[in-house]
Amino acid sequence: MNRVVKVLMALVALGALAVGGFAAFEHFDQAEVKKSAHRGCATLDVPTGTPTLPAGLTLPSDQKLLRVDSQGKTVVVFASTAGTLDDVVKVRDAVLDALTGQGYTKGGTDQEPGIEAEGEFAGKAEGTIKVKPLCTDRLEVRYKING
């Protein structure tokens, strides 16, 4: 076999390994997210410390504020709301509608129904939301506001 053929075969083999590895990672990641939907909420759906929302953000009345973290100028807000795996897209859309009512604009969306749903917003601030299972009959809503 000449050298070019060997190199091409090696590249094809590496590509196949990469695709297979990614598929396995996605499978196990999704399985872990689905397991979250069936774990107890005792310690998961509880506020940490005394979190306060950043200026310009109000949570819908059906959401419970769990914690607020900072990563440089970025603020990450974690909240929870009632819902199951079947509700992630519906909750994401409701959150984006609520943000629109607060003066933000809705951006792009992405979802893996039954796993997670994401959305972008802009206006007063730019950021993203992500809705995924937290525990039994509760969903986590993560707001990431870029500073």
pLDDT single digits (tens) 102-126: 999 999 999 998 899 999 999 989 9
CB atoms within 10 A of CB 119: 21
Q: How many Cα atoms sit within 13 Å of 11 on the Cβ side?
A: 6
Provide the pLDDT confidence category of residue 2 given band limits of 50, 70 and 90.
confident
Coil, helix or strand at residue 106: strand
Residue 83: inside a domain, yes or no? yes
Residue 22: inside a domain, yes or no? no
54 neighbors 41 (Cβ within 8 angstroms): no
Lowest mean pLDDT among 2-16, 18-32, 63-77, 124-138: 18-32
Residue 18: inside a domain, yes or no? no
Cα distance between the two ends of the chain? 57
| Total tally of structural domains belonging to the chain | 1
Residue 40: inside a domain, yes or no? no
Indicate whether 19 pLDDT > 60. Answer: no
Range of 78's domain?
Answer: 64-146
Residue 102: inside a domain, yes or no? yes
Residue 97: inside a domain, yes or no? yes
Residue 84: inside a domain, yes or no? yes
CB atoms within 10 A of CB 134: 22
Residue 108: inside a domain, yes or no? yes
What's the rounded mean pLDDT across residues 55-77? 94
Indicate whether 25 pLDDT > 60. Answer: no
Question: The CATH number of the domain where 92 resides is what?
Answer: 3.40.1000.10
Cα angle 86-88-89, degrees, rounded to a multiple of 5: 100
pLDDT digits (tens, 9 = 90+) for 26-64: 444 456 667 666 788 888 899 999 999 998 899 999 999
Please state, rounded to an integer, the average pLDDT across all residues of the chain.
85
